[in-house]
Chain A
Amino acid sequence: MQISNYLTNEHRECDNHFAEAEKLISQGNWQDGEKKFLEFADDTLRHFKKEEDELFPLFEEITGSSEGPTNVMRYEHEQVRGLFGKMAEAIEKKDKDIYLSLCESMMILLQQHNMKEEQMLYAMCDRVIPPQKKSEVIEKMEAVKE
């Protein structure tokens, strides 16, 4: 399996959770909306952990660069983590306007980040990481819990 396929599929799953949470909360269904939001947040944060703990270090080791794209991706992960906190706060206060406004920012921030990963970083990973190591890193990422 290619790294790009594996991680791109995870992006799509997170998108689905996000869209469902947004829909439920826009309809005023806070209980189910919160559940979906938590699934979205958990899956996204686990995905970040897989990248930061397993994929990025391997990529940096092979390319000899820790100042490059992986650094930028880590920085963007931090920006997304910051927004999760604000969205959770809006859910706690049951403030629909603020939640939906934060959804807008989250979606653009996350999507432009995902696109850069899918179109550049993952493609680079698939190119520079040898097949054997590729399978190993996917197994390690599979094992990441939270």
Chain B
Amino acid sequence: MFHNKGLSLEQAPPISVVFRFFLVGAIFGVIEGIWILFQGKDAINAYSNTGLVTTHLFTLGIMLSFMLGALFQMLPVVAGVSFKEPVKRAIQTQYPTLFGTVTLLFGLYYDSALAYSIAGILLLIGIMPVAFEMLNRLIALPNHSASSRGMGFAIYGLIFTISLGLVLIAIRSGWSADYYPAIRDSHIAFGSIGWITLLIISVSFQVIEMFYVTKSFPKYISRYLPASIAFITTLLFVISLNSDITSNIFYFVLYLLTAIYSLVAIYRLIKRKRSVNDATVEFWLIGLSSLTLFSILGIIYSFDFNSLSILMAMKILFPVFATSIIFAMSYKIVPFLTWFHLNAQGYFKAPMMHEVINPKYAKIHLYIHLLSIFLAVISVSIPYFWHLTGAVIVISFGLLLVAIYRAWHIYIATEQSGEKFEF
């Protein structure tokens, strides 16, 4: 039957639902910058407590916040999946996740079993109910688009990532550590590729075409790539529990798939019909180029697990890829939603997108972002530069935070003082 609920942006959630997640994500970005500013090179040592804090500030604090906001916004639009009380649902998701993340960061830094237990419970009740509901609703859809199908696989990846994360904190709290390396590696594979990359890929099937007017992605990618990534990450988990089986070939295929996607996406963007060149196109190109390099290095790494220099480069490239896409998306979505919600309510003076965030502002952010990447690369050779990189990351996310806050302020001010048509 028809799933007309959510067919319209009218049935998309109130703007506050999306903005609350984006604001928290940007705040975590600023905190991450401050953390790197003060911790310097220690913040980049992935398996140290300090490094684990950096990683989870990025994955749980920044990425999960932006991605939950994007899911709340996009699921009604692209798949007709909406929540009955979206504000209440967003709060029920965000607060436990937020406090769970902060508690986990304390737990990781001080290696505290009590903090791990509290964080585990909060993250479980914050993320799992909404993730399972989104997944169930997506599975039940009679018609799937490439994006809705991919989002389903990405949410499956999120559920796996969180589940394995909960096992890891149980192990760190003193449970049996028999499978610790296997579970840790699967947690990383699911979190980075099976969740974050796969959600970005799935969303891109829709938004690259929508924002820049490009040809659709080839069917062999849009239809089969998300399922393949989900399958391989699951397979990697299963075989990692059996140390007799080598996993190299599966990592090789996984990185090959992300490399193929990123090259096709770059080609699509370069061949776009819209010729206007704004900062968001460049953010996308930086992000996708980083994913290409990350994937190529991943292919090499899958045959040489001991190469620390390759691993280091991958650790820099992945956040560059993911944050670039976050910036690209935010500078389109935030002004569009502000304009759209006000316009749909009939306000005479609904600000246009360029009035909400001026394209020149996004361009300035682009240069700051490039500077942060440049400094991160230099920091590999001169570790002292990590402090400076942290400072630039603070400015970078600070700019995004200000942009989102100003958009919110414009929205509220127009709502309070603007004249509107009476429908």
Contacts and interface: CB of A to CB of B under 8 A. Distances in A.
Nearest to A16: B273
Interface in A94-114: 97-98, 100-105, 107-109, 111-112
B405 interface: no
Interface string A79-122: 10010000000000000011011111101110110011001110
Interface string B181-205: 0000000000000000000000000
B77 A116 contact: yes
A61 to B, nearest CB: 15
A124 interface: yes
A22 B276 contact: yes
B342 to A, nearest CB: 11
A72 to B, nearest CB: 4
Interface residues of A, number: 37
Contacts of B206: 115
B19 interface: no
A29 interface: no
B7 A115 contact: no
Interface in A49-103: 63, 65, 68-69, 72-73, 75-76, 79, 82, 97-98, 100-103
A27 to B, nearest CB: 9
Nearest to A15: B213
Nearest to B74: A112
B276 A103 contact: yes
Given A15-B213, A18-B213, A26-B275, A105 B352 contact: yes
Interface size class of B (residues with CB under 8 A): 20 to 34
A123 interface: yes
Contacts of A112: 9, 77, 210
A144 interface: no
Greatest chain A CB density within 10 A among B10, B80, B274, B340 is at B274
Contacts of B344: 79
Contact of B336 (A18, A108, A116): A108
A11 to B, nearest CB: 11
B7 A116 contact: yes
Contacts of B276: 22-23, 26, 100, 103
B77 A68 contact: no
Contacts of A79: 343-344
B354 A124 contact: no
Contact of B340 (A69, A103, A107, A109): A109
A23 B213 CA distance: 13
Nearest to A117: B7
A72 B7 contact: yes
A120 B7 contact: yes
Nearest to A104: B353
B315 interface: no
Contact of B213 (A63, A65, A107, A121): A107
B210 A63 contact: no
A101 B355 contact: yes
A69 B4 contact: yes
B119 to A, nearest CB: 37
A107 B211 contact: yes
B210 A72 contact: no
Interface string B118-155: 00000000000000000000000001010000000000
B143 A108 contact: no
A108 B77 CA distance: 12
Nearest to A70: B4
Interface string B59-87: 00000000000000000011010000000
Interface in B348-373: 352-355
B42 interface: no
Contact of B2 (A76, A101, A111, A124): A124
B339 interface: yes
B172 interface: no
Closest 8 CB pairs of A and B: A101-B354, A111-B210, A19-B273, A101-B352, A72-B8, A23-B275, A69-B4, A68-B4
11 contacts: A15-B273, A18-B213, A19-B213, A97-B354, A98-B352, A100-B276, A100-B354, A104-B336, A105-B339, A105-B352, A120-B80
Interface of B: 2-4, 7-10, 77-78, 80, 143, 145, 206, 209-211, 213, 273-276, 332, 335-336, 339-340, 343-344, 352-355
Given A82-B343, A112-B9, A115-B78, 7 more contacts: A22-B275, A22-B276, A63-B2, A98-B352, A101-B354, A105-B352, A108-B336
